[in-house]
C-alpha cells in the first residue's frame, strides 16, 4: 500500500516564474492538505482540499492556489515566485473516519 | 495567530538516557500530535492525543495531553542512535482533518 507520494522531489525555479507541485494521497484517503516548511521551521498550513474544493486556507497570498482531481490527487500552484517561496512543500492526506494526517516526503523548491 | 512553543531548539543526550520535551501554546487545542522528521523526509506521526489528561505510549515513547489543553510533553526512554531527528509538536483546535499548527521543532542528537 503506497503512502503519500509527491512529485517532483526537487525543483529549481527563477524569481517570477510559476510552479506546479503534485501529490497523490494514500489509498483510501480523500482529503489533501498542503504545508510549507521553511528551513529551520515547522510546517505552515497553506490550504486543504476535499471533494475537489478548497475547504480551509491558511495565511498565504492568492499567488498560492490549488486543485483536487476526482481521483483525490492534488496540485499546488505558485505564481510569480519570490525568493522567500524557497521551502520544502509537504502534502498530507487524511480521510473520512481517519483523524490524522499522513505526510509525503515533500518537494524541495529553490527559487533563485 | 496560534503558535506553539518548543524549546530548546537543540538537545544533546547520551545513548541510553531518557529525554523529555514539551510544547506550550497560548491557545487551547483539542488534539495534540507529536511528529518526527528525518533529513529529506516528511514528518512521521509518533503519537496522537485527543483528551485532556490523556497519557499515551508507543514503545519507548510516552506523551501526555496537558490538563489545561495548552501544553503537551513527549518522553523518550532509553534513547538509541535512531532517535536522532527533529521532533515537532502539532495542535488542532477544531474538528478532525482540520489544519494543524506546528511548533518550530527540537533537534535531538544522541551520542553513542
Residue entry with cell 528551513? A39
DSSP string of B14-82? ETT--EEEEEEESS--SEEEEEEE-TTS--EEEEEE-STT-EEEETTEEEEE-TTSSEEEEEE-S--GG
The alpha carbon of residue B42 is apart from the nearest alpha carbon of chain A, in Å, by 4
The pLDDT > 90 percentage for chain A reads 89
Residue numbers in B near A99 (CB within 8 A): 31, 48, 50, 96-97
The answer to whether B37 and A92 are in contact (CB under 8 A) is no
Supply the mean pLDDT for chain A.
94
Q: For A68-103, what is each residue's pLDDT tens digit?
A: 999 999 999 999 999 999 999 999 999 876 678 899
The answer to whether A5 and A24 are in contact (CB under 8 A) is yes
Does B97 sit within 8 Å of A106, measured CB to CB? no
Does B97 sit within 8 Å of A50, measured CB to CB? yes
pLDDT of residue B80: 97
Q: Nearest to residue A111, comparing CAs of A8, A35, A12?
A: A12
Q: For B49-66, what is each residue's pLDDT tens digit?
A: 999 999 999 999 999 999
Question: Is pLDDT above 60 for B1?
Answer: no
Residue numbers in A near B48 (CB within 8 A): 99-100
pLDDT of residue A2: 73
The answer to whether B70 and B28 are in contact (CB under 8 A) is yes
Question: Is pLDDT above 90 for B37?
Answer: yes
Q: Mutate which of B37, B47, B99, B103 to disrupt the A interface (most A C-beta within 10 Å)? A: B99
Q: Mutate which of B10, B87, B97 to disrupt the A interface (most A C-beta within 10 Å)? A: B97
Q: For B54-99, what is each residue's pLDDT tens digit?
A: 999 999 999 999 999 999 999 999 999 999 999 999 999 876 667 8
pLDDT of residue B97: 66
Average of per-residue pLDDT across A13-28: 96
Q: Nearest to residue B46, comparing CAs of B12, B23, B15, B13?
A: B23
Residue numbers in B near A2 (CB within 8 A): none
What count of other Cβ atoms lies within 10 Å of the Cβ of residue B4? 25
pLDDT of residue A65: 98
Amino acid at each position: 500500500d503506497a503512502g503519500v507520494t509527491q512529485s517532483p522531489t526537487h525543483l529549481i525555479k527563477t524569481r517570477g516564474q510559476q510552479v506546479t507541485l503534485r501529490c497523490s494521497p494514500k489509498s483510501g484517503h480523500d482529503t489533501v492538505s498542503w504545508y510549507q516548511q521553511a528551513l529551520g521551521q515547522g510546517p505552515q498550513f497553506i490550504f486543504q482540499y476535499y471533494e475537489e474544493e478548497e475547504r480551509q486556507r491558511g495565511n498565504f497570498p492568492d499567488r498560492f492556489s490549488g486543485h483536487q482531481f476526482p481521483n483525490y490527487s492534488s496540485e499546488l500552484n505558485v505564481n510569480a515566485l519570490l525568493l522567500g517561496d524557497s521551502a520544502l512543500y509537504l502534502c498530507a492526506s487524511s480521510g473520512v473516519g481517519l483523524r490524522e494526517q499522513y505526510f509525503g516526503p515533500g518537494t524541495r523548491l529553490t527559487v533563485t | 495567530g496560534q503558535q506553539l512553543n518548543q524549546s530548546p531548539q537543540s538537545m544533546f543526550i547520551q545513548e541510553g538516557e531518557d529525554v523529555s520535551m514539551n510544547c506550550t501554546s497560548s491557545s487551547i487545542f483539542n488534539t495534540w500530535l507529536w511528529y518526527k522528521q528525518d533529513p529529506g523526509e516528511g514528518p512521521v506521526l509518533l503519537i496522537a492525543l485527543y483528551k485532556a489528561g490523556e497519557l499515551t505510549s508507543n514503545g519507548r515513547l510516552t506523551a501526555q495531553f496537558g490538563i489545561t489543553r495548552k501544553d503537551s510533553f513527549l518522553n523518550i526512554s532509553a534513547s538509541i542512535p535512531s532517535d536522532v531527528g527533529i521532533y515537532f509538536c502539532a495542535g488542532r483546535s477544531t474538528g478532525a482533518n482540520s489544519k494543524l499548527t506546528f511548533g518550530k521543532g527540537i533537534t535531538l542528537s544522541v551520542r553513542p
